[in-house]
Amino acid sequence: MPGFITDERIPNNVDLSSDKRLQRALEKWQPAFLDWWTEMGPEGFQGNEVFLRTAISVESGGWAHFDHVRMPEYRWGIFLEPREKERKIGFGDHAGEAAWQTVPGEYRNMLRRIIVTQGDTEPASVEQQRLLGKTAPSLYDLRNLFQVNVEEGRHLWAMVYLLHSFFGRDGREEADDMLERRSGDADSPRILGTFNEPIDDWLSFFCFTMFTDRDGKYQLAALAESGFDPLARTCRFMLTEEAHHMFVGDTGVNRIIERWCQVATEQGRDKVRSEGAIPLDIIQKYVNFWFSCSMDLFGGEQSSNAADYFAAGIKGRFKEDKFAEHSALGDVYTLQKIDASSLKVYTEEIPLRNAMNEVLRDGYKADCMKGVNRWNKTLAKFGLEERITLPDHKFHRQIGLYSGFHFAPDGTPMDDAAWEAQKDKWLPTQEDRDYVQSLMKPCYEQGKIASWIAPPRKGINGRPFDFDYVRL
Ligand code: BYC
Ligand code: FE
Ligand code: FE
C-alpha cells in the first residue's frame, strides 16, 4: 500500500508481502545485515537510546517519525516514491518511450553495475565513521552521526531491494558482497577511492558530509532521472534523507569556523591553539582535501561509460527537465586538458554526451560554493578578512585527466619539485592531523560542547540543544 507503514519485519511501501519469494530472500539477507551492523556499525552506544528519525512513509510532511530508539532496533525499511502514471523516459536515445518497470535485457549489466556502485558507498561510509562516537563534541553531534549512519544503512537496503527484485541470482550475490567488502581493506576494499579514506576526526566527518554526501546528492539526482523507474523512485526518496546529511556537514564546518572567529576576535589569533580551537588554515586544508577527493567521485572528464549511460536513458543530468534539449547530440563541452610535455593547459571541444561526468561535476562545484559562501558570511559577520575558498577542479585529483599532474589551488600547473615544496601549505600534514586529533575528546554532558566548535543555532525537531539526544 503506497505511503503506508506496515508492521512487517521489513517496513515497506512496495507491497512486499504480496511477493513471498522476494520477501523471503530479503528476510534472509536481514540477519546478515544486522551482523554486519554489529561488527562494522558504530562502535559502542548500540544499547543506548538515540533520538532518531525513522522513515515511515513517503508522504511529504509526514514521512519521518522521531523517537528514542536503540540503533539495532532501528526500522530499516524500503520506501519508493509513488509511481507516476505513464511516466516517460526523459533523455537519451529512448526519450519519450514509456519508462521501464523491469530491467531491459540489453542494459542489465550496466544497471547492475551502477546500482552496485551506489549501494557500496552506503555501508562504506558507516565503516569509515564507526569510531567517531568515541569523540563527539556534544550529544547533539553524536546523535547526528548516528542519524547519518542508520540512514546510510537504509540506503543500502534501498539498493539491495533493487538487486533482489530485478537481478535474480546475480543480484542476490551482489547483495551478499555488499556486506563482505570493507572500507580501507587491502584485499577487498570498497569500490570507489574516497570511500576507503579513513575518517578519524570530526573535522573530516563534517567535511565528508558536506562534500562527499553532496556527491551522493548529485549522483542520486542523476539516477532519479533514470528510465528504469524503480531506481528513479528509490533515489527520489533517498534524496529526502540526504538533505540532513549535508546540513550536518555544512553547519558542522560553519560552527568550527564560528568558534575560530570567536577566539580570534575575543582572545586574538595567537590564542587559537591554547583555547583549543582549530586554526582556519587547517580548516582550509581539510576543505581542499575532501573537496578534491569528492570531485574524483564523478569519474573521468571524458567518459564513454557516461555517454553510454546517458544514451541508454539510465543516468541523466541533474534536473534533466531544466535542460532545453534532451538528446545531448550535436552539442559539445569545452574541456580543459593538459599537455604532458609543456604542462600547458589548453581547451578542446568534446561531444557533450562524453562530458556528462563533467557536467554533473560543474553543478556539484557550484552547489559546494553556496555552502562556502555561507561560511564566509560567518567570517564577515565577525568583521574578519579571511575567507575559505574552493580549490580549482584540477587540484589534487586522483581520477581522470588531471591525475598524474600537479596543480596549485588556483589551477596553475606545476612540476613535481614545485608541488613537493608547497603541498604542505595546501593539504593537511601529519602535524595538522595530530593537532586536530589532540582535540578529539568526548563531551557528553547534556548541554555542553567541546572547545573547538560553537553550539548549533537550534536543536533537532524542535528540541533544544541541551536535550538528551543520546541517553547514556
Ligand atoms: N574511484 O568512465 P569513467 C553516496 C573507475 S556518493 C575508483 O571515468 P564512470 C554517498 C570506473 O568505475 C554517490 N574508481 O567513470 C556519499 C571505471 O572502471 P572500469 C555514489 C573509479 O564509469 C556519502 C574507470 O574508473 N554513487 O551516495 O563514468 C555517504 C573509468 O571510468 C572512480 C555513484 O557513484 C573513483 N572515484 O563514472 C554515503 C553512482 N571513478 O570500467 C553515500 C553510480 C571512476 O575501468 N556510479 N572509476 O573498471 C557511477 O555512476 C559511476 O560508476 C561513476 C564513475 C560516476 C562513479
Ligand atoms: Fe546515502
Ligand atoms: Fe548521505
Which residues have CB less than 5 Å away from ligand 3 (the ion)? 213, 216, 245
The number of the ligand 1 atom at minimal distance from the alpha carbon of 114 is 43
Name the pairing type of β-strands 49-55 and 64-70: antiparallel
pLDDT of residue 3: 47
**188: buried, middle or exposed (CB in 10 Å: 19+, 13-18, 0-12)?**
exposed
Q: How far is the CA of 242 from the centre of ligand 3 (A)?
A: 5
pLDDT of residue 56: 87
Q: How far is the CA of 123 from the centre of ligand 2 (A)?
A: 9
pLDDT of residue 2: 44
Nearest to 286 by CA among 432, 453, 450, 131: 432
> Using a 6 Å CB cutoff, which residues line ligand 1?
114, 117-118, 121-122, 125, 152, 192-193, 212-213, 215-216, 219, 296-300, 303, 305-306, 315, 357, 399
| Mutation pick for ligand 1 pocket among 107, 113, 117 (CB with most ligand atoms within 8 Å) | 117
Grid cell at residue 133: 562516537
- For the chain, domains (ranges, CATH) are 16-317+354-389+438-471 (1.10.620.20)
Contact residues for 278 (Cβ-Cβ < 8 A; gap 6+) = 203, 256, 259, 260, 272, 435, 436, 439, 452
What averages of pLDDT result for each successive group of 10 residues across the chain (472 residues)?
Answer: 61 94 96 97 97 88 90 95 96 98 97 98 98 98 98 98 97 98 97 95 98 98 98 96 97 98 98 98 98 98 98 98 96 97 97 98 98 98 98 98 97 97 98 98 97 97 97 96
**Euclidean distance between CA atoms 438 and 171, whole angstroms:** 44
Closest residue by Cα to atom 20, ligand 1, is 118
Q: How far is the CA of 153 from the centre of ligand 3 (A)?
A: 10
DSSP 8-state symbol, 78: B
**pTM, rounded to two decimals:** 0.97
